[in-house]
Structure 1
Amino acid sequence: MAQQHLDRLTAVDASFLAQEGPASHMHIGGLVICEGPAPGYEEMLDHIRTRLHLVPRYRQRLAQPPLETGRPLWVDDPTFNLEYHVRQTALPSPGSEDQLMRLVARIMSQQLDRSKPLWEMWIIEGLDDGGFALISKTHHAMVDGISGVDLATVMFDLSPVPPEVPHSDEPWQPRHEPTGAELVAGGAIGLARAAAGATASALGIVRNPQATLRALGEAAEGLGEVAWAGLNPAPATPLNVEIGPHRRYRVVRNRLEDFKEVKNAFGGTVNDVVLTVVSGALRDWLHSRGMRTEGLELRALVPVSTRAQDEKGDLGNRITVMRGPLPVYIGDPIARLRAVKASMDGLKESKQAVGAEVLTGVQSFAPPTILAQASRLNFSTRLFNLIVTNVPGPQLPLYVRGREMHDVFPVAFLPKGHSLAIAIMSYNGQMNFGLLGDYDALPDLDRIGDGIEASLAELLALARRRKAPAKASANGASRVGSPV
């Protein structure tokens, strides 16, 4: 067998492993609903098998160097079995959407086996409309949301007729399992590469001291803002409680056009409207729990991709985070949107994201035990109340073996002490929300889902009311100057 190239996990990827616990699963995923009937199981296996070479990580498992001499490495799994990772089941009659959501929640409640490649895919038949569903589940250490969208080319096509995919003439053969000495050496090589990167940076300082001083100043400001955030914790809420291993899942369908209509009427970005809608839903939910919201602003952890254009499709995480505002104290939806916009504009101008990236760079040199503690601090309950992540998807229809994908709903994860995560993904004119909740802490998860629908409908009605007088005024002006 060929010598195995050992690929060490990045600091961010390793941190996702360190944060996982019995109740805090660090996998992410998605629910895809397609027109039926479903392809046969063997057909789906062949479809995936012919494309797996495009994502070699899917045939790799974790390997830990002896005595924690470095971060884990990715190595070929010598016992890789596609049938283990791709599973098939069916909903009992009638195959309702509620039944499908319960199945998603059950699948997401089970941790991935770390002795195997960290992914699963489930083919779900028996939907009441005759269609079928795909449920994907991938550990966050393996792929982040943005690169995950790019890697959808493994499964999805742009046309009903699947294109020919170039493939190797030789069947896949795992490279030999590395010895303990090779794993130690692999960790050392990874550390040397990080040191080489630091040396290159140092040479850059000599060549361009003014630019370096500016960058150092920004980094210092950023670290200061991250430290300030740590000293000003997120407020205590019913969202931030001890969680168990079991989950609930709820989806909300929306139109991307509606979010754009609101932001065009009142300013801001689509993401500002998303945070405003989430704020309105959480305000209603807190009131239903008997909690007062005067002066209360929740904080959302908003992941931001730092992946460059030429890195699209690369494996591994290139993300940093910002803490977005959720001003649940504001009852008026337009005032709430303006407050979100002002805060988000300030965050973008601040150095908070730069500071988070600097901390990640420092962690690149940290031994695994120190890294584990640092990663837990990054997802500390003190810093935020819930994750809200918005992933842009393709704005054209995709197909699986000639069947059109009708809906896609993302699934985030729940860090320790966080009972709710909201993931949003746009696709082909849709703007769909996936709400993941702790089973025991959020028996009223549907209330938050209903609140998202109501909050968007309220903003949309106000946007259209604002547009109507302008249109009437324009029509009146044109009539004044028209011939009789």
Structure 2
Amino acid sequence: MVERLRARDLAFLTAETVVAPRHNATVEVFEPGPAGFDHARLLEIVSDRISFVPRYRQRLVEVPGRLATPVWVDDEHFDLGYHVRRSALPRPGSDDQLRELVARIVSRRLDRSRPLWEIYVVEGLAEGRFALLTKSHQALVDGVHTVDLGQLLLDAVAEPRPLEPDDWTPRSVPSALRLVAGAVRDSVTAPATFVDTVSVTTGSVLRTAERASSRAKVVADALTGRRPRRRAMEGPLSQQRRVVTVATELADHRRIRDAHGGTVNDVVLATIAGGLRAWLMTRGEPLGGARHMRALVPVSVVDEELEATSLGQIAPHYVNLPIGEASPLVRLHQVSYSFQAHADTGRGVAANRIAGIAGFAPTTFHAIGARVAATEVRRGYQLCVTNVPGPQTPLYLAGARMIATYPVPPLLEDHPLAIGVTSYDGRVFYGMNADRDQLPDADLLGTCLREALDELLSTTTATRAPRGRRRPSSRRPSEGGTS
């Protein structure tokens, strides 16, 4: 019995273009363990854990005539060595060199004729460190049937777990006749299959027409000499990316929270707002007519009407980042006010509950948050920020301690910047994916973000909570955006 790809998952494939690959990525940096680490060891670990995510050994097969959505089948020629790759920097490799390598790798689309994921071990970093880069397609990781492989690779203890032999044998790929018969049967016995097929076909036609209309408008504007006025953070994507990473201390975020109320999530978003403001000013962007930047921040909620995943329900939450506000404290209060309304609904999920999920769940949370962003793209937001609280104790990969983790969320068309944030082991890691041509000065945004956090820290000399606001208790939900 084969499993058919759901229409919402197929939408991520049909919407993918050469300039907008639809995969999530994560970069993790490790200190070397006592036994060392290399590509062969990574192959062993992935081979041991992949049985927990069978979808990672499956590929998609089209139904002849597209009578129904594609089906997942076991890859009869599954080659673990193709998916688990090795790369290296010239020793001693710098963080800048690592980011450049990551940017080049995440710019490339995944091969759809194979299982939709890749993982790289990057050797040669200074001080004997190495990095792990994972890529998983949005159609693969839905949080319902499949979690991100990165959630399963890390351990809470330094001692490596014993490896178990895997006797997996792929099931045979169904013939074309059997695929057609199954599509006809499902269309008759399961009306949802017919609806999915029609909706995907219609959606594909509409997207093609929309892209053609957009291109025609660009040509018409060029011929008439008109320059379309774009908001900040808008514009067509190129095929290349820039990756920016910033590591900060969780204690600094908590110090700001304790001084002014709210949550760590509020501090993160206020920091991003301040960083964007300073960065846009260096670019000469006029802020007078754009006092706010509309941002989508996926949040974890309790809502029976939303699709249940292994990590709960994730819903979109919109925030107007106050980039036109000069005062860092006012920016913080404005962000806090937006999330206070969300907290008052009683739907929020506590951050410590999310951080306590088994494995390194932030990788899966970021993947689900990116799916939410993709489905909400027509709502007209300018920036997506996924913020996920992770465990505050160290995690290990075959004895090697993870010291940093940076999400690299995918870019959507006309959205040249996406930001992911993960807190882990006493630190807060910001990962930014930027279009290389649209935002050639993206590195400067990282500097501005650090300065924005320092600016907020400078306000903590007055520790009295603002009028009408209570200091956060341990029961108050949400110390992370996706929480």
TM-score range, shorter chain: 0.7 to 0.9
* Whole-angstrom CA distance in 2 between matches of 1:78 and 1:304: 39
Structure 1 pair 438–189 and aligned structure 2 pair: CA distance change class (3 A): same
1:131 aligns with 2:126: no
Instruction: Tell me what 1:251 maps to.
Output: 245
Note the 1:87-102 alignment, pairs <5 A: 87-102=85-100
Instruction: Tell me what 1:478 maps to.
Output: none
1:389 aligns with 2:383: no
1:9, distance to aligned residue in structure 2 (A): 2.8
Instruction: Tell me what 1:458 maps to.
Output: 455
Deviates further, 39-48 or 340-349 = 340-349
1:111, distance to aligned residue in structure 2 (A): 0.4
Q: Match for 2:404 among 385, 403, 407?
A: 407
1:452, distance to aligned residue in structure 2 (A): 1.1
Instruction: Tell me what 1:270 maps to.
Output: 264
Can you list the C-alpha shifts for 1:372-413, whole angstroms capped at 9, x where unaligned?
xx9977324x61111111122222111111111111111101
Instruction: Tell me what 1:22 maps to.
Output: 18
Q: Match for 2:70 among 69, 72, 87?
A: 72
* Whole-angstrom CA distance in 2 between matches of 1:323 and 1:245: 28
Contact kept, 8 Å, 2:55 with 2:146, in 1: the verdict is: no
Q: Match for 2:8 among 4, 7, 12?
A: 12
Contact kept, 8 Å, 1:300 with 1:387, in 2: the verdict is: yes
Contact kept, 8 Å, 1:64 with 1:72, in 2: the verdict is: yes
Structure with bigger gyration radius: 1
Instruction: Tell me what 1:345 maps to.
Output: 340
Contact kept, 8 Å, 2:100 with 2:242, in 1: the verdict is: yes
Contact kept, 8 Å, 1:386 with 1:421, in 2: the verdict is: yes
1:326 aligns with 2:321: yes
Instruction: Tell me what 1:362 maps to.
Output: none
* Whole-angstrom CA distance in 2 between matches of 1:375 and 1:68: 27
Q: Once superposed, what is the RMSD of the aligned Cα atoms?
A: 3.4
Note the 1:292-371 alignment, pairs <5 A: 292-294=286-288, 295-305=290-300, 313=310, 319-346=314-341
Note the 1:125-204 alignment, pairs <5 A: 125-143=123-141, 151-164=149-162, 171-184=167-180, 189=186
Gap regions ≥5 residues in structure 1: 199-234, 354-373, 471-484
The letter of the residue matching 1:437 is A
Contact kept, 8 Å, 1:36 with 1:131, in 2: the verdict is: yes
Contact kept, 8 Å, 2:296 with 2:373, in 1: the verdict is: no
The letter of the residue matching 1:432 is F
1:325, distance to aligned residue in structure 2 (A): 1.7
Structure 1 pair 129–70 and aligned structure 2 pair: CA distance change class (3 A): same
Can you list the C-alpha shifts for 1:132-166, whole angstroms capped at 9, x where unaligned?
11111111111158998775353111111122356
Contact kept, 8 Å, 2:122 with 2:130, in 1: the verdict is: yes
Instruction: Tell me what 1:106 maps to.
Output: 104
TM-score w.r.t. the length of structure 1 is 0.75
Contact kept, 8 Å, 1:160 with 1:403, in 2: the verdict is: yes
Structure 1 pair 375–30 and aligned structure 2 pair: CA distance change class (3 A): closer
* Whole-angstrom CA distance in 2 between matches of 1:451 and 1:340: 18
Can you list the C-alpha shifts for 1:104-144, whole angstroms capped at 9, x where unaligned?
00000110001100111111111112111111111111115
Contact kept, 8 Å, 1:265 with 1:467, in 2: the verdict is: yes
Structure 1 pair 194–324 and aligned structure 2 pair: CA distance change class (3 A): farther
Structure 1 pair 186–394 and aligned structure 2 pair: CA distance change class (3 A): farther
Structure 1 pair 266–112 and aligned structure 2 pair: CA distance change class (3 A): same
Instruction: Tell me what 2:367 maps to.
Output: none
Instruction: Tell me what 1:477 maps to.
Output: none
* Whole-angstrom CA distance in 2 between matches of 1:469 and 1:322: 25
The letter of the residue matching 2:55 is R
Structure 1 pair 323–428 and aligned structure 2 pair: CA distance change class (3 A): same
Structure 1 pair 251–144 and aligned structure 2 pair: CA distance change class (3 A): farther
Structure 1 pair 117–418 and aligned structure 2 pair: CA distance change class (3 A): same
Structure 1 pair 190–150 and aligned structure 2 pair: CA distance change class (3 A): farther
Structure 1 pair 125–166 and aligned structure 2 pair: CA distance change class (3 A): closer
* Whole-angstrom CA distance in 2 between matches of 1:400 and 1:23: 33
TM-score w.r.t. the length of structure 2 is 0.75
Between the two proteins, the alignment pairs up a number of residues equal to 403
Secondary structure at the aligned position of 1:92 is classed as strand
Can you list the C-alpha shifts for 1:181-237, whole angstroms capped at 9, x where unaligned?
4434655649966859x9xxxxxxxxxxxxxxxxxxxxxxxxxxxxxxxxxxxx942
* Whole-angstrom CA distance in 2 between matches of 1:80 and 1:451: 45
Structure 1 pair 395–375 and aligned structure 2 pair: CA distance change class (3 A): closer
1:35 aligns with 2:21: no
* Whole-angstrom CA distance in 1 between matches of 2:432 and 2:456: 21
* Whole-angstrom CA distance in 1 between matches of 2:429 and 2:144: 16
The letter of the residue matching 2:299 is V
Structure 1 pair 194–51 and aligned structure 2 pair: CA distance change class (3 A): farther
Contact kept, 8 Å, 1:8 with 1:71, in 2: the verdict is: yes
Contact kept, 8 Å, 1:93 with 1:126, in 2: the verdict is: yes
Secondary structure at the aligned position of 2:92 is classed as coil
The letter of the residue matching 1:451 is C
1:430 aligns with 2:427: yes
* Whole-angstrom CA distance in 2 between matches of 1:183 and 1:110: 30
Secondary structure at the aligned position of 1:15 is classed as helix
Secondary structure at the aligned position of 2:125 is classed as coil
Secondary structure at the aligned position of 1:254 is classed as strand
Instruction: Tell me what 1:49 maps to.
Output: 47
1:93, distance to aligned residue in structure 2 (A): 3.3
